[in-house]
Amino acid sequence: MKKNILLAASLLSVMTFFSYTSIEKKKPKKPNVIVVLVDDLGYKDVGFNGSKEIPTPNIDRIAHEGVKFTNGYVSYAVCGPSRAGLITGRYQDRFGSGRNPLWAPNDIDQGLSVDEETIADVLGREGYKSMALGKWHLGAHEKLRPLKRGFDEFYGFLTGGHKYFPEEWILNDISEIKQHSDAYKTKLLHNNTRVDEKEYLTDALSREAVRFVDENSDKPFFMYLAYNAPHAPLQATPKYLKRFSHIENKKRKTYCAMVSAVDDGVGLLLDKLDEKGIADNTIVIFLSDNGGTPKITADNAPLRGHKGNLFEGGIRVPFAMRWPNMIAKNSVYERPVISLDIMATAVEYANAKPKKQLDGVNIVPYITKEKQGDPHQSLRWRSFDKKTYTVRMGDMKYIRLYNRKTNKTRQEFYDLSKDISESDNLTLPKEQKKELQKEYDQWVEQMVVPKYLGLLQDKKYSELNPDRFNVLAY
C-alpha cells in the first residue's frame, strides 16, 4: 500500500511538472522591439513607396515581410517634437514640447520634460534591455540624456544634427561649443564617454546596432536606432556615391547615397536577427521623423508640402512594420496610423503599464483584422508659432492656415481618399465644418503652450541666457 501511495505521488509530481512546462511553452514570449527612425526622408524615397531611383531592398524587406502603412503619420512636421511624441506615445503638446529644442545643456526645460516617461522607461520595468543610437535631440541637460530616460546604453550625439565624417568631429567635449551649430562637430558619445570613432557616421551606428543585438539576443530588448541620415549636411563616402554616378545633380546624388547607406545598415541588422534566431519575435518598425525637404532634394511625391508644414508632405511619412509571429507578409494597411501607436503597441505585448495615459493605440489587431474601423477617431496637429493646425477625421482633412504678412487665416478641406496631393479644396456643408473644428477645439483644450524657446528663437534665447554655452567638460 505504502509503495502504491509513493508511486502515485511520484506520477502526480511528474504530470504536474510536464503540465507546468507545457503551459510555460505556450505562454507568449515578450517581443523584442526595434524602431529604425530616419531623418527628413522623402515620402517617395524608398522602394516600397515607389522609388525607382534609390534601391532600398533591405528597408523594403520590412514592408514586404510585414505591413506597409499607406497613411502613416508622425505627430509633428519637424524633428524634436516628432521624436518627443514617438518616444512617449503622447502628443508632445500635452507636456510643452511643441518646439525644436536648442542646444542648451544648462537648461533642464530645453527638451523632453522629466515628468514624462519614455518607452524605454516603461519596457525597462518589464526586464527589457534598451539602447538609443544616433540622434537624440530631446535635451542636452544631464538629466535629459538617454541614460537618465530609461536607456541602458547610448551611442550617438545629443543635438539635432551632426557631421558625418569623423575628421570633422574636432570638439572633444561640450565645453568647446560656442554656438548652436558647433554641436554638430563634437566627438560621439558612448554612454557618458567621448569616443574616437573612425567610421562614417551611418556605418558606425549600424555597427553598434548589430553589436547590441548580438550581445542581448537572449533577453527581451528595445532598440531606438535614430539615424541622422539623410538630414543635412549632405555627406557620403565614395562607396555609396559610386552607386549613383549616373545622377548629375550633386545634391541629389549625395542624398541618394546617404539613404543607401542606411539601407545597408538595415540589412546588416535584419541579417543579425536571422542569425540569432529571433527575427520571428522581433517587431521592427521603419519610419521617418517628418517629411522630406527640397533643400536636400528629397522627393515627397505625390504629396503636397514638406518638412515644417502641416500639408501631407510634412507629416505623412514612409512607414512599415514587420513582426512575423503576428503580421502576414505583404500586408497593406490603408487607414490612418501615427507614430504615437508604436509605444502603445510595444507596451501591450510586453504586458507593461505606463503611468500616464497614451494617445497611441495597439495597431496590430487592426492590421490582422481582429478589430474593424479606424484605430483613431481623428488625428490632430498644431504648429503653435505658425498659428496653423490641422485635423484628419476619417478621410477628410481640415487645415487652418495663417498668413503672418496679412494677419489673415484661411481654411482648406480635402478628401484624402481621392486627393492625396491636396489639390482640390472642397466646399463643405457648415455642419461638417463645425464638426471638424469641434474635434480640434476639444483636443487643443488639453494641450499646453511650448515650455521653451526653440530653434526659431535661437538669437532671442541667447540674449536671455548669456551663459548658455558656459558649461563644464563632458
Query: Catalytic residues, which ones?
Result: 79, 137
Pairing state between β 319-322 and 282-288: antiparallel
Q: What are phi and psi of 34, to 5 degrees?
A: -125, 125
Nearest alpha-carbon partner for 310 in 243, 410, 216, 388:
388
Q: Residues with Cβ < 8 Å from 373, sequence gap 6 or more?
A: 366
User: Which helix (H) or strand (E) element contains residue 133?
Assistant: strand 129-135
DSSP string, 375-443: S-S-EEEEETTTTEEEEEETTEEEEEEEETTTTEEEEEEEETTT-TT--------HHHHHHHHHHHHHH
**Paired sense of beta strands 32-38 and 221-226, if any:** parallel
CA atoms of 156 and 187, how far apart (whole Å): 9
Please check whether residue 82 is in contact with residue 289, taking contact to mean a CB–CB distance below 8 angstroms. Answer: yes
All 3 cell numbers of residue 213? 543585438
Residue with cell 546604453: 153
CB 68 within 8 A of CB 317: no
Q: Phi-psi bin for 160: left (phi > 0), alpha (psi -120 to 50), beta?
A: alpha
Which helix (H) or strand (E) segment holds residue 134: the answer is strand 129-135
CB neighbour class for 355 (10 Å; exposed up to 12, middle 13-18, buried from 19): exposed
Nearest to 409 by CA among 387, 390, 439: 387
**CA distances for 360 relative to 93, 252, 378, 445, 463, angstroms:** 14, 35, 11, 18, 38
Q: DSSP of 199-247, one letter per residue? A: S-HHHHHHHHHHHHHHHHTTS-EEEEEE--TTSSS----HHHHGGGTT-
- For residue 130, the surrounding DSSP H or E stretch is strand 129-135
Q: Which of 226, 230, 172, 163 lies closest to 200 in space, CA to CA?
A: 163
> Hey, what long-range contacts does 431-440 have (CB within 8 A, 24 or more apart)?
432/396, 433/398, 435/393, 436/391, 436/393, 436/396, 436/398, 437/398, 439/377, 439/378, 439/380, 439/391, 439/393, 440/380, 440/389, 440/391, 440/398
